[in-house]
Amino acid sequence: MEKSLIFTVPPIHSVPPSHAAAVEWWVYNVASRLSIPTEIVCIRKGELKQENVTSHCSIFRIGMGRVYKRIFQKWTRLDPYSYAWRLARRARGIRFGDQKLIIHNSIHLYSAAARYYPEKDMILHMHNMQDTARLTSSVKIITPSNFLANWYREKIPGANVKVVPNGIDIDLYTGCERWSRGQLGLSETDTVILYAGRLSPEKGPLELMQAIHRLNQSGSQLKLVIIGDPQANNSGPRAEYQKKIREMAQTMNTSCILVGSVAPAEMHKVYAIGDLTVVPSRFEEPFCMVALESMASGTPVLVSPRGGISEFVIDGRTGFMLREPLSAASIGEDILATLKRGDLQAIAQYSREEVLSGYGWQTIADKYRVVLQEWQ
């Protein structure tokens, strides 16, 4: 009997995503490149209910009406026809051959769906760390890095965990569509530092801003371009942090440009404006798409040596590492030292070739197929 796959994500973003949503972007790119029947099930936010992506891949979007959400999810919390229930009903309704339900990045959704769908036919694909209390050693898990795989093995002894990395669209990164510096008011002679990602404490953007500001006060003339929504949160600690980001940007004046959020399908255009991409993460990165994408663009990377990022950013070979402990002072010193390296462009070019040859979405899809075959 022919194999088939159902991919699903938490009911937050639709697929393909219109905003920064790395998990949904992963699902869209891999599912559409597999040569076996696949369907992506996601939340519906005004898009078509159902559409075909390729001859093998389709998308089914679940609509959750406003009245239903208000009464059953917000007021009574009963949720009798939950997203998990609707997902399982859809998966059972189209079951064909040896079908697997692959749930991305939500242990809560996995546990909820397991009440309605055979767990033996389910796979959990985790892109970050989450509470594992609901999982048992019977779970099958895929992660993007050995670091994250080992984290789950430690939390769930006996769990079957395999690794498939994240990837990039080779056609996009070898094409000619790129942002120009002029559209951001930058000149070709400016030295541009690039940051892309969430504007939250664990990612370290405020320390990077402070580092650039200190350097400029000491005579450097660096420009910092920040990709990320500085008003993504309306309340709570992240909102307070983003307020500090906006205030620091005002202090830095023209040396800091807050671009805002960029859709995943557009990110390949961004990196060409930078002389150096800095990833000052203060937590253990499960993988780090920004580093991979920057490398694919030929823009060198200076990254935090934490988590899975060190599995493909090799200091002095495919990129450069920030020193621990991270601080505004140490980040600034490392930026200057990296920019002065005579082999900066040679390393950037080598890392680009490595990423383009080993991390294209089709290569990742092929690795995914092999992993799934091992679980037959």
| pLDDT one-digit tens code per residue, 276-304 | 999 999 999 999 999 999 999 999 999 99
Does position 340 have pLDDT exceeding 80, yes or no? yes
In angstroms, the Cα distances linking 66 to 74, 89, 325, 364 are: 10, 21, 48, 38
What pLDDT score does 1 carry?
38
Q: Measuring CA to CA, which residue among 285, 313, 214, 290 is closest to residue 256?
A: 214
Query: What are the backbone dihedrals phi and psi of residue 101, each rounded to the nearest 5 degrees, phi first?
Result: -100, 115
Residue 84's contacts (CB-CB under 8 Å, 6 or more residues apart) are 109, 112, 113, 115, 116
Asked if residue 98 has pLDDT above 90, the reply is: no
Burial class (CB in 10 A: 0-12, 13-18, 19+), 350: middle
Mean pLDDT over 152-174 rounds to 97
* pLDDT tier, 96 (very low <50, low <70, confident <90, very high otherwise): low
pLDDT for residue 81 is more than 50: yes
**Percent with pLDDT over 70 in the chain:** 99
pLDDT in tens, 169-198: 999 999 989 999 999 999 999 999 999 999
Asked whether the predicted pLDDT for residue 3 surpasses 80, the reply is no
Q: For 200-208, what is the mean pLDDT?
A: 97
User: Between 98 and 22, where is the model more confident?
Assistant: 22
pLDDT at 141: 98
Closest CA to 115 of 134, 130, 128: 134
pLDDT reading at 118 higher than 90: yes
Question: Which of 201, 222, 188, 256 lies closest to 335 in space, CA to CA?
Answer: 222
Q: Quick one: average pLDDT of 329-351?
A: 98
Report pLDDT for 144. 98
Give residue 77's pLDDT.
82
Q: What is the mean pLDDT of the chain?
A: 95
Q: Three-state SS string across the chain, please?
A: CCEEEEEECCCCCCCCCCCCCHHHHHHHHHHCCCCCCEEEEEECCCCCCEEECCCCEEEEEECCCHHHHHHHHHHCCCCCCCHHHHHHHHHHHCCCCEEEEEEECCHHHHHHHCCCCCHHHEEEECCCCCCCCCCCCCCEEEECCHHHHHHHHHHCCCCEEEECCCCECHHHHHCCCCCCHHHHCCCCCCEEEEEECCCCHHHCHHHHHHHHHHHHHCCCCEEEEEEECCCCCCCCHHHHHHHHHHHHHHHHHHHEEEEECCCHHHHHHCHHHCCEEEECCCCCECCCHHHHHHHHHCCCEEECCCEHHHHCCCECCCEEECCCCCCHHHHHHHHHHHHCCCCHHHHHHHHHHHHHHHCEHHHHHHHHHHHHHHCC
> Which strands sit side by side in the sheet containing 50-52, from one edge to the other?
50-52, 57-62, 38-43, 3-8, 98-104, 122-125, 140-143, 160-163
- Model confidence at 2: pLDDT above 70: no
pLDDT at 371 over 50: yes
Q: Set out the domains of the chain in order of their start, with CATH numbers.
A: 3-167+360-374 (3.40.50.2000), 170-358 (3.40.50.2000)
Mean pLDDT over residues 98-113, rounded?
Answer: 96
Q: Name which of 1-5, 37-41, 243-247, 309-313 the model is least confident about.
A: 1-5
